[in-house]
Chains A and B, each alone.
Chain A
C-alpha cells in the first residue's frame, strides 16, 4: 500500500494542473514522499493522501459483503443447487413419481398404458438416475395441486413455456419448439415440485443433452398422425 501512495499523489497533482494554472498546486512536484509546490506549500504525503484514498476503499460493510459472497461462491461451485426437501437424493435409486395428464401427442393413454413423447423422455431420465417410475394419471389442475403438496416429483402434461402456472411452477427449459395445429410456435416444458432446484437442474441437464432436431421431427410426425389417423 505504501508504495502506491506516491503514484496516487502524483495523479492528484496532475488533476489540479488541469483545473487552472493559478492554483497553488498547479506546478507541484512530488519527491520522496513530500509534496511541494513552487508557492512553498508543502505537505506530507502520508496521512493526508491516505485519507483521500481511504474514501475510495470499501467500507466495513462492503468488505463484509464481499467476504461473505466469495466464501459462499467457493463452497457453492460444486454443491449448488440443492433441493429444499431433498427430492433428487430420494429419487436416485428409488421411486420417481410422475404426474401425467392426457394431452396428445405429448402424453396419451393407450390401452391403460402411458405413452407419448414426454413419458418416453422421463423414462430415459429415470433410467439415468437409477429410479423406477410410478405414473400418477390425473387432470392437469389436479396434478398441479399434487405438485404443490409434493405428492408428485414431475409433471408431464404437454405444458408450454407460456402456461398460466408459469410463475408458481418449477419449469424446465424448453426441450423442443414446434408449431401447434393453430400454427403458433410453442416451447414445450416439463415441471418439477416447486423448490426442488437440484431435481430441476438434473432434468434440465438431461433435456439439454437430447437431440432437439430429432425430438422436433418425432413431435411433428405424432401431430400429423393425430390429425389424419
Chain B
C-alpha cells in the first residue's frame, strides 16, 4: 500500500511541542515526589488515600502524552499507511478509562466506609524527635500536591491549543482543577482533627466523584474522537474552522463550479476528501488538481492529506 507523506511539525509548533514535552516530564517528576509525600503521610485517612490515588492517576495522561507524541512521529509505512497519529486517540481513551474505573472504585469505597460507620483516627507522628499530630504533615503534603499543580496546569493549558493535543488539554484542565480536590482532602483531614470523623469519607467521596467526572468527560471526548466526529477546536469551544477554509479555497479556484469537503481528524492532523464539479475547459485538469492539492495542504499545517475527486455533478443528498 502507498503510505501517506511523512509528517513534520512546522518549526514554531515543534518548539511548542518540545516545551510541552518538557512540562510533562516535569509533571511526572513532580507527581512522583508528591505521591511519595502523600503515601508517606496518609495513614488510614480515606480522603488522603483517595488523594494519593488521584495523584498517581494524574500521571497517566502525562505519560500517555509523552508516549503518544513520540509514537505519532513515526513515519507512515507499508503496515500503517495512514501513519501513527491514531495512537494518540487510543492512548487518550485508555487513560480516560483508567480514571473512570478508579473513580468508581474509590467512590464505592468511601460510601462503604461512611455507611459502615468506620471512623478514621489520626494520632501522632514522630518527626526529627518531635511528636506532632499526624494531620499536620498530611496537610503539608496536600498543599504540596495542590499548589504547584495549578501553575503546571495553567502552563500546559496555554500550550495545548497551540499544538492541538487533546490529551495535553485534558491533562492541563484536570491539573488546574486539582486544588479543589485537595481542598476537599484538607477539609477531610481537619474534620478528623475536630472529631468530625464523617468528614473524612465525605471528602474522599468528593475527590473520587471528581476523578469519575474527569474520566467520564474524557471517555466521551475520546470515543467521539475515534468515531471521527466533525473536527472540533482543541478547547471544545466550537467547530474547527479549517473545513470551511478549505471549502472556500477550493470554490475560489477558477476551474471549480462547486465543491464539498469532508475532513476527519486523526491525532493532531486532518485527512480529507474534496468532491469537485469543474466548469469550463477540462484541459490540463490532472495538473490543476495536483496544484490544488499542493496549495490546499499549505493552508494549514494540520491539513496533512487531501484527495480531490472530480464529478460531473455533486452527489444528491437526501
Where the two chains meet, the residues of A that have a C-beta atom closer than 8 Å to any C-beta of B are 61-62, 65, 69, 72-73, 76, 80-86, 166-173, 192-198, 200-201, 203-205, 208-209
- Asked whether, in the complex, the Cβ of A200 is within 8 Å of the Cβ of B123, the reply is yes
B131 within 8 A of A: yes
Cβ contacts under 8 Å, B65 to chain A? none
| Interchain CB contact under 8 A, A81 and B133 | yes
A80 surroundings in chain B (CB, below 8 A): 133, 135, 190, 193-194
Q: Which of B119, B124, B180, B190 contacts A201 (CB 8 A)?
A: B124
CB neighbours (8 Å) of B44 from chain A are 166-168, 170-171
Contact of B126 with A by CB under 8 A: yes
A76 B123 Cβ-Cβ under 8 A = no
A82-B195, A195-B119, A201-B133 known, 16 other contacts, Cβ within 8 Å: A62-B179, A65-B183, A69-B183, A81-B192, A84-B196, A170-B121, A173-B123, A173-B131, A192-B123, A193-B121, A195-B197, A197-B133, A200-B122, A201-B122, A208-B124, A208-B131
Residues of B within 8 A of A (CB): 44, 118-126, 131, 133, 135, 139, 179-180, 183, 186, 190, 192-197
Residues of A within 8 A of B179 (CB): 62, 65
How far apart are the CA atoms of A200 and B131 in the complex, in Å? 12
Inter-subunit contact A84/B119 (CB<8 Å): yes
**Residues B124 and A205 in contact, CB atoms below 8 Å apart:** yes
**Min C-beta distance of B109 to chain A, whole Å:** 10
A-B contact pairs, 21 of them (CB 8 A): A61-B180, A76-B190, A81-B192, A84-B196, A167-B44, A168-B44, A170-B119, A173-B124, A194-B118, A194-B119, A195-B121, A197-B135, A200-B121, A200-B122, A200-B124, A201-B123, A204-B124, A204-B125, A205-B124, A208-B124, A208-B131
**A residues in contact with B126, CB < 8 Å:** 173, 204, 208
Report the nearest B residue to A203, measured CB to CB: B123
Describe A's contact surface by its main secondary structure. Answer: mixed
Contact of A81 among B119, B135, B139, B183 (CB under 8 A): B135
Contacts known (A81-B133, A201-B133, A208-B131); A172 close to B197, Cβ less than 8 A: no
Closest to B123 in A: A200
Complex: A65 Cα to B56 Cα, angstroms? 24
Name the A residues within 8 Å of B121 (CB-CB). 169-170, 192-197, 200
Assembled-state Cα–Cα distance A193/B118 (Å): 11
Structural contact, B125 and A173, CB atoms closer than 8 A:
yes
B118 and A168 within 8 A (CB): yes
Q: CB < 8 Å: which of B118, B123, B183, B186 contacts A204?
A: B123
